[in-house]
Amino acid sequence: MKNEFNLAFNEVLEEKQLPKEVILGALESAMVSAYRRAVNASSAQHVESKVDSDTGKVLIYAEKEVVEDVQDDRTEVSLLDARKVNPLIQLGDMAIVESTPTNFGRVAAQTARQVIQQRIREAERSAQMLYFERQLGEIVSGVVQASNPQTTTVGLDMKAEGVMPANQRIPGEKFRVHDRLRAIIMEVKDGSRGPQIILSRAHRNFLRRLLENEVPEIYHGIVEIRAISREPGQRAKVAVSATQAGVDPVGACVGVKGMRIQAIVKELHDEKIDIIEWNVDPVIYISKAISPARVSGVYLNEAEKTATVVVMDDQLSLAIGRDGQNARLAAKLTSWRIDIKSVVEAAGDTVNRLQSEPSMRLTAEFEKDNIARISDILAKKAENRPITPEEYTTLAQFVDRVERRSLERQRAEDKANSEKLAEARAGIPAIAFEQPLDSLGLPEHVFNILTEADYNTAGDLLLAMRLSPDKVLGLAGIGPRAMQAIEKAVTETSAAPEPVAEIAPAAEVAPVAETSAPAVEATGLVEPVAEVPAAEATAATAEAIATDAPAAETAAVLEAQPTAAAPAEEEAGTEATFEELFKLRPDTFKPGTEEDDHGDKKGKKGKKSVEYQFDEDRGEVVGRKKHKRGDVDWTGEDW
């Protein structure tokens, strides 16, 4: 049989809707606070409590020093009592022993009650905050507790309260106390008196969540909501599409005899909802967004993201809507700026463009015969004379032809501009678009003006100067002097030398025997020699290596190799590179000397010492030279 404590404990759990561990933790913390106040214990002393959830028995444990003679039982314990807890404890140690007072008293009980209430209240707030943060953007149901023109207070789950401001209510709605309503949680903030929950019924996501609840196909992802535009309490447009073939997205949202959509309309205070099918083609999509009006033509200007919609005269007011509402919702739904015109107005504007714009000259010549007829029809309309359906059709076809030709011309111009841009960009190194603009050395005021005009790299400025220098000159603050500085910087950047090509790897270096005489002479290392057959040169080289000839003789043998390329069948197997020779006998390439006989033209020069070594990093044999001065040994370290 349950005792009173157990019954009271379960009642608190049910009322507060908190976990058992939270309530027990609050009780234990309250008992510790009550003990400290009852015995006037220090806050530095470690104190803990244990509460039996079945019997309600409370045990207090405090940390005390082990002494022989107890002077203060609040902080000291005798050795005998301490060894009942720990037999190995010694004098001077700290022991945690039971210190439950016999009677807390009325003050301690009051303290425990206050602490328990405070801890439970904090736990409630934390649980509410966590719960409603997870519900952010979802629909919740509550009961109206108070309502005034400024706010409506709604009681929610977990004894929380939500607030709905006046601008988040559907216009025309009036609530009374104890009315039940649904709304979405728009914002959750942590306040001093608990979480502040902001509710909304005017947000477009409220309509989205209602559709998910009423239409199973949307909830399961078979039908997807692409866009929503809404004016609360008046009208809304929803674009939907099917993710599976054979599914009618509009029919799924409307339901049999409109049952699904009618339930949502009733929830939204008789708000009219237009369900349209989303389409990847902007022309079709905009045509459906203007519904219920019938559209004669849609003409796009993708550069400005503007759409011109042409409708018949009897459809104009329906397409625009009351106070422009239909056009406004369609523009929000499609993210295009929509300009709605009647077919008569569109025809008049088209005739004026053909007669005034030079770019429309070719189209005007093509439509020369039709312009007079269209002008007659427009004059008849201006005189309020009736126009036949055939004449309306003629006007619509005329507008359609001219607009299509204009679009084709615009596409051709865009293509030409793209090609021009690509051609200009191809002549600019790619690294220029990574080079900061300040690297050009422009004056500070010019640099600031160009940076404000979104010229951030040297490549951007080079491209602009190639495409349209007048555009740069037209910037505020750019005059002739500034333009000269810019042109100078651009010229210097364009004339910068290209990076030097990397040295080919050793495997790709041509054999020395195949190097032409002019190329060898250009290096300045050796003088041009007469041609020697490849077989003789190879034999001489092999003999020099076999006999370990001096370096001077080896150099002479190497110089005697042919300078002209021999046929491929004769070269195969008979010639070797410096690298191959060095790998055979590295000690063969010892320091040697050679004469430099250019004294006839430049005066006599002294002897130069030459040392040939194989450079592993470069993958080739290199020669180092040094003039001998006096009796200095050529094998010195200074080269």
Contact 565, 517 (CB under 8 A): no
Same-domain check for residues 233 and 337: no
Domains held by the chain: number: 5
DSSP-derived secondary structure for 152-176: EEEE-GGG-EEEEEGGGSPTT----
Q: What is the mean pLDDT of residues 525-536?
A: 42
Residue 563 within any structural domain of the chain:
yes
Residue 512 within any structural domain of the chain:
yes
Same-domain check for residues 143 and 239: yes
- Which CATH number belongs to the domain containing residue 447 in this structure? 1.10.150
Domain end, chosen from 238, 259, 276, is at: 276
Contact 265, 271 (CB under 8 A): yes
Residue 422 within any structural domain of the chain:
no
The predicted-structure confidence for 163-196, as pLDDT tens digits, reads as follows: 999 999 999 888 999 999 999 999 999 887 788 9
Residue 331 within any structural domain of the chain:
yes
Residue with more model confidence, 283 or 605? 283
- Answering whether pTM is above 0.85, one says no
- Which CATH number belongs to the domain containing residue 57 in this structure? 3.30.1480.10
Residue 151 within any structural domain of the chain:
yes
Same-domain check for residues 241 and 299: no
Residue 519 within any structural domain of the chain:
yes
Residue 410 within any structural domain of the chain:
no
Range of the domain at 101: 4-127
The Cα-based distances of 324 to 52, 339, 382 in angstroms read 71, 11, 25
Same-domain check for residues 10 and 103: yes
At residue 625, the 3 state secondary structure works out as: strand
Q: Which of 508, 515, 561 is nearest to 534 (CA)?
A: 561
Same-domain check for residues 84 and 120: yes
**pLDDT at residue 316 greater than cutoff 50:** yes
Same-domain check for residues 63 and 169: no
- Which CATH number belongs to the domain containing residue 229 in this structure? 3.30.300.20
Same-domain check for residues 146 and 265: yes
Same-domain check for residues 313 and 446: no
The predicted-structure confidence for 469-520, as pLDDT tens digits, reads as follows: 777 878 887 878 778 788 777 777 665 554 444 444 444 434 433 434 333 3
Residue with more model confidence, 502 or 414? 414
Residues contacting residue 225 through CB under 8 Å, at least 6 positions apart = 208, 211, 218, 238, 239, 240
Same-domain check for residues 264 and 153: yes
The predicted-structure confidence for 439-462, as pLDDT tens digits, reads as follows: 777 888 888 888 888 888 888 888
Q: What is the largest CA-CA distance in the chain?
A: 129
Same-domain check for residues 158 and 257: yes
Same-domain check for residues 304 and 387: yes
Q: In which residue are the tokens 């900061």 written?
A: 436
d(CA 208, CA 448): 48
Same-domain check for residues 512 and 623: yes
At residue 255, the 3 state secondary structure works out as: coil
The predicted-structure confidence for 91-107, as pLDDT tens digits, reads as follows: 888 888 888 877 765 66
